[in-house]
Each structure stands twice: as structure tokens, then as C-alpha cells.
Amino acid sequence: MSLDREIKSKLYFIETWGCQMNEEDSEKLSGMLKTQGYTPTENRDEASIVIFNTCCVRENAENKVFGNLGMLKKQKEKNPDLIIALCGCMMQQKGMADEILKRFPYVDIIFGTHNSYKFPEYLHRVQTDGVQIKEIFDKEAEIVEGVPIDRKSSVKAFVTIMYGCNNFCTYCVVPFVRGRERSRKPEDIIKEIKELVAQGYKEVTLLGQNVNSYGKGLEEEISFADLLRRINEIDGLERIRFMTSHPKDLNIEVIHAIRDCDKLCEQIHLPVQSGSDAILKVMNRHYTKEYYLDLAKKIREEIPDVTFTTDIIVGFPGETEEDFLETIDLVKKVQYDSAFTFIYSRRNHTPADRMENQIPDDIKHDRFNRLVEVVNEGIVASNKAAEGKVYEVLVEGTSKNDETKLTGRTRNGKLVNFDGCKEMIGKLVNVKIVEAKSFSLVGEIIK
């Protein structure tokens, strides 16, 4: 084998759809491959291993997987040694793996969310024995520590503190594809963060489907607020963020931890999903609009500089125009700094999929457009209010749109672009905001 061909045979490509937890799973897959001498590539056509890490929360994400698998057929015919692997939440859906193998028989490896740590074993078996592998654990496995991880950033990192969800919102498949809630031991979390700090990382984002449930199932009695205070004591760490918080579970102890701990950032992702009590009840969210607004008010009283981000679904079964207007009213009152807005997408095996009063697509799209307009008005107003103020910014790298500019975020999550030298990456700098744009800020460093 020529050197050029040997190098090409050690290239891998990973495509990731979905949430931050999927992103971290892909970082682990990348880490495992790198320890075996593989190198990542952004050119899928030259890769010898192609991995699709899938999501099933939205139908659109599934359609992208099918489309991309179809395009790989010619690449597989041209290079029979190409290894195609599928993993992630989509694979955990009942019957999905068999459907994929029937439609795309050239897929080599399929595995789920609970056994991704076994990928090197699967890869070895395919390469040495020429077998096709489909292995999906129906039940959540024990948490496996010490899996290699290849971080995308050298400044900030995701750290999963728990897996799974017990809430069973009627639109959501997460409890079925990610399993029930399991918490990592606090000593393992703190060890990982200390190692990150030793490598030069300045910020961590703690991940979980519902971080406020942290501690369940552990022998040691520890709450999420307790964990936050412990992590805040780690020397060298500059910033702590977390997501996601279920509104029904974000208690006063967590609010006080954010208020009291100097490293905890004043930004909270608080998914509301709807502003209508009727829809929230059918969604099985266990709170009301009034409760949510009172919670946001209480948080602002304790943490004046806090910003909120959220998730909102429009067009949920049975949603009337009045229900939708309740959501619009809530958005105006909270004034989010960012919102992930979604058109309701039917998901198999969820109660919402079986509801008879599905909303027509044209109405869903109309409401979605109206919602986005109101959300964006709030973001623009919030950014405008930042003009003339000075913020501490963690420099994360160069701007995606202009590599001559540096980019970073304030403690409360606002994206700022400014002039500076690359030596500043990874440092905290004070930046004065000179111009507010629609979804970012322009600043200048204060020396």
C-alpha cells in the first residue's frame, strides 16, 4: 500500500444531528478513533469511515439521515472498503435499525445511545471478520467512565453530569431513546473538570436532559445545587454554564447557587414549550404559565443580570389561536435572549402522535413565522440595551463570518465580535459594546 493510500485509509468523517449531548457523543467517537491512529476529515468523499450520529426529536433530522445514506451508495460502490456506521437516538427507535438495513444494506455498523463506548470493538470486527453489526441495547447500561474525547474547542467544553429523562412529555421520545435518569458520581465529574482545567480550558457547560434531577440514584445524597457549589471551588476554572433545566424542578437552592457562586454564569436555558395552560397540561409539563412567569420573576430578583433562553413548540395538537396568543404574550413578558423555535413534529410511539386534533401545516407555519418575529424583536431590543456597556468576554476564537475578528461571549451569553490578536484566545477581556446587531454585538477591547 502506498503512503498516500495508507493515509487516506485512516481518515474518518462524522456528521452530527441533534442536541449538545449528541455533539459530546460525537466528540467521544472522535476521541476513540484518534487513539487508534485515525485522523478526522471534513471531506466525506475521502474518508474510509463515515459515521452518522443521528437525532429523532424532529422528523427533518431523520429525513436528512435517509438522504445522506442514499448519497453514500455510489461512494460505497466505488470503495467497497468504506465503513458506514450509524448511531444515536434514531437507532433506538423500535424497528428503525431493521428498516435502515433493508433500505440501505450497505451500512456496516448500527449501534445505539447506550453502547457507543463499544464502537472500537465493532469497528475491529467489521475490519477483520467482514461482518455487518447491529447491536442496540434496549435498556440503559452502566455509566462508562474514561472514554477518550476529542474536544472541538480548546477553550470551553461540554461535561455530561447525567443521562436520560423521567418526565415523559407527550411529544418527546427522549425517555425511550436515552433511557431513564442516571447520574454520574460527583467525584468523576469533578475529576474530569480538573483535567480540563489542567489542559487550559476556561469554561464548562454541564449537560443533562434535566440537570435539576441530578443526584437521583446515587448512594451519596447530593443535589444539583450542591454539585454546582463544589464545581465552583475548582481552581483555574473561570466559568460554569448548564443545560437543560425543567421549569418544574428549578428550585430556590439552584437560584441561590447561581447568585452566590462567582463562576456560575448569569444565563439560564428554561424551556417553556408553550404559554397556554391547556397545552402545557396536554404536553404533561407539570407547570402553568403563571408559575413560569413567577419563576422568571423570582430569578431576575435574585440575579438582576440574568438572561433567559428557551425552547418553544408551535402547532401542538389542539392548539387554538387563543393558545398561541398566550405563548406570544409570555414571550413578550419574559423577553428571551435566544429561543429555539420548532414546528410540532409527530413522533412515533408518543402520545401526541395519537392525538386526533392535529394542526394543519399551513396554520403551523403561519404561527411559527409570527412567533419568530416576536422572539427576534425581543432579541434586538435586548442587544440594543447593551450598547455602551462594558462586559467581560471569554475569547473563544475567530469569528465564523470574519476571521480577522475575535469572537466570544459575555457571562450572560451574548455573542460579541471585536478586533484583537489571536494570542487573546482563551483569555478574559473587557469589551465595550459599540454596536448592536440583530443576533450579535460589536465591541472594542477596553485596555
Q: What integer is the mean pLDDT of 354-377?
A: 96
Asked if the structure places residue 5 within a domain, the reply is no
Side chain identity, residue 377:
E
* 89 in a known ligand binding site: yes
Instruction: List Cα–Cα distances, 22 to 19, 89, 292, in angstroms.
Output: 5, 8, 28
Residues 330 and 394 in one domain: no
Q: pLDDT of 162-214, one tens digit each? A: 988 899 999 988 887 778 889 999 999 999 999 999 999 999 999 998 999 99
List the domain range (segments joined by +) for residue 270.
156-385
- Count of domains observed in the chain: 3
Residues 228 and 315 in one domain: yes
CA torsion sign, 238 to 243 to 246 to 249?
A: negative
Q: pLDDT of 293-335, one tens digit each? A: 999 999 999 999 999 999 999 999 999 999 999 999 999 999 9
Q: Is the pLDDT of residue 1 over 70?
A: no
Residues 108 and 229 in one domain: no
φ and ψ at residue 293, rounded to 5 degrees: -65, -40
CA terminus-to-terminus distance, the chain: 56
Q: What is the DSSP track for 373-423?
A: HHHHHHHHHHHHHTTT-EEEEEEEEE-SS-TTSEEEEETT--EEEE---GG
Residues 372 and 398 in one domain: no
Last residue of some domain: 135, 165, 185? 135
Residues 171 and 185 in one domain: yes
The CATH number that applies at residue 414 is 2.40.50.140
**Cβ neighbour number for residue 13 with a 10 Å cutoff:** 17
Residues 207 and 233 in one domain: yes
pLDDT in the model for residue 403: 82
Last residue of some domain: 385, 413, 431? 385
The CATH number that applies at residue 104 is 3.40.50.12160
Angle between helices 321-334 and 289-302 (to 10 degrees): 10
| pLDDT grade for 447, boundaries at 50, 70 and 90 | confident
Residue with cell 473561570: 238
Asked if the structure places residue 150 within a domain, the reply is no
Residues 302 and 401 in one domain: no
Q: Record the cell numbers describing residue 253, joined without a space.
A: 437552592
Q: Is the pLDDT of residue 381 over 60?
A: yes
Q: What integer is the mean pLDDT of 271-282?
A: 98
Last residue of some domain: 357, 385, 413? 385
Q: Is the pLDDT of residue 7 over 70?
A: no
The CATH number that applies at residue 361 is 3.80.30.20
| pLDDT grade for 8, boundaries at 50, 70 and 90 | low
Q: Record the cell numbers describing residue 2, joined without a space.
A: 502506498
pLDDT in the model for residue 142: 75
Asked if the structure places residue 222 within a domain, the reply is yes
Instruction: List Cα–Cα distances, 177 to 56, 117, 140, 211, 232, in angstroms.
Output: 9, 16, 9, 18, 32
| pLDDT grade for 361, boundaries at 50, 70 and 90 | very high
The average confidence (pLDDT) of the chain is: 92
Residues 353 and 425 in one domain: no
Q: What integer is the mean pLDDT of 217-227?
A: 93
pLDDT in the model for residue 180: 84
Asked if the structure places residue 420 within a domain, the reply is yes
* 421 in a known ligand binding site: no
* 87 in a known ligand binding site: no
pTM of the full structure: 0.87
CA distance 254 to 232: 13
Residues 251 and 375 in one domain: yes
* 165 in a known ligand binding site: yes
| pLDDT grade for 22, boundaries at 50, 70 and 90 | confident
φ and ψ at residue 343, rounded to 5 degrees: -85, 130
Q: 342 and 316 in contact (C-beta within 8 Å)?
A: no
Q: Are strands 11-16 and 49-54 parallel, antiparallel or unpaired?
A: parallel
Asked if the structure places residue 373 within a domain, the reply is yes
Residues 214 and 350 in one domain: yes
Residues 218 and 286 in one domain: yes
Q: What is the 3-state secondary structure (H, E, C) of 163-216?
A: ECCCCCCCCCCHHHHCCCCEECCHHHHHHHHHHHHHCCCCEEEEECCCHHHCCC
Asked if the structure places residue 143 within a domain, the reply is no
Asked if the structure places residue 148 within a domain, the reply is no
Q: Is the pLDDT of residue 391 over 90?
A: yes
Residues 412 and 377 in one domain: no
- For residue 44, give the 3-state DSSP assignment: helix
Q: Record the cell numbers describing residue 382, joined without a space.
A: 435586548
pLDDT in the model for residue 4: 44
Q: What is the DSSP track for 429-443?
A: EEEEEEEE-SS-EEE
Asked if the structure places residue 377 within a domain, the reply is yes
Q: What integer is the mean pLDDT of 431-436?
A: 96
Q: Is the pLDDT of residue 5 over 50?
A: no
